Amino acid sequence: MTRRPGQATIAAMRKLTLEQIETVILDFWQGSPLNSLHMQGGEKAWKQPHIAVAAASDPLFVEIKKMIGPFYWTPEEAFALGRPGLQASAEELSVISYVLPQTEATRSDQRAMNELPAERWARSRYHGEEFNCGLRSHLAGRLSAAGYPAVAPERLLDFDYRTSEKFGIASNWSERHVAFVAGHGTFGLSDGLITRFGKAVRFGSVVVKADLPVTSRMYGEDHQAWCLWYAKGKCGACVHRCPIDAIAKDVGHDKPACFKYIRGVTAPYVAKNFGLGDTPCGLCQVKIPCEAQIPSALQANG
């Protein structure tokens, strides 16, 4: 019998495999109507996703909580919130992180912009994130139905934004930090995560009660290894891409200034011109050496 798009199931097996997880994710990416920019021609919002896995017991999760603040969830805490009454230690949990790369057409349009986001980019931020939210829930649901209880922390009712004493505006679950721990990539000068597929990406994650093989973290615990500025003291292309000078080589990313520009300028712009209720900018993610890859000068480290 031919399987309908988006209906991949996990076979009943004694041990969950990465191949089964990849099948569920790729099937949903290929067949879900949510994966669309809602433009003429039916373009997908994202290129093919890629997954990585972290152990929930990785000490980096606790270190990140200490840095961001007590409101930040470890995987064990997020699982307990989503599965009250179901006990699971960090050693029993795995964290699946996936990366959604922007399409070449979206990146090309965005490269031509200097002050405001391109329409495709804005649509990927709005409709693409609708798909991302759907994928988070879909994956957690499929895993749970197959006997591997799972939660998508970003989809929990308690997910929100707080104020970190050290970092300012911060959520209680960070997809970028999870992706770093899982081996997807490291942070750049603009705070974006540089992956093998570049910085022009988005992330999602699911915490599951299953023993999965952990992805090798090629950069160890160096959270800035794949940024040319931090690794070699040169580049700073993202500095010049920011229309309001919210990125600086000596201090990094000015989050309040970035937030103000997005809320006050780019969000009203896309609402008026494209009818989208999102908060895009992303100019610092393109027209840079790490747009779609690890910078070539650092690829031996990846």
Structural domain contains residue 239: yes
**Which residue range forms the structural domain that includes residue 142?**
18-296
* pLDDT above 70 (res 14): no
Residue 251's pLDDT is 87
Structural domain contains residue 146: yes
Q: pLDDT averaged over the chain?
A: 94
Residue 114's pLDDT is 97
Structural domain contains residue 2: no
Q: Tell me: the pLDDT tens digits for 158-216?
A: 999 999 998 888 999 999 999 999 999 999 999 999 999 999 999 999 999 999 999 99
Structural domain contains residue 1: no
Structural domain contains residue 198: yes
Question: d(Cα 151, Cα 146) in Å, to the nearest integer?
Answer: 13
Structural domain contains residue 3: no
Structural domain contains residue 254: yes
Query: Sorting pLDDT into bands at 50, 70 and 90, what band is 302?
Result: low
Structural domain contains residue 141: yes
What total of structural domains would you count in the chain? 1
Query: Sorting pLDDT into bands at 50, 70 and 90, what band is 94?
Result: very high
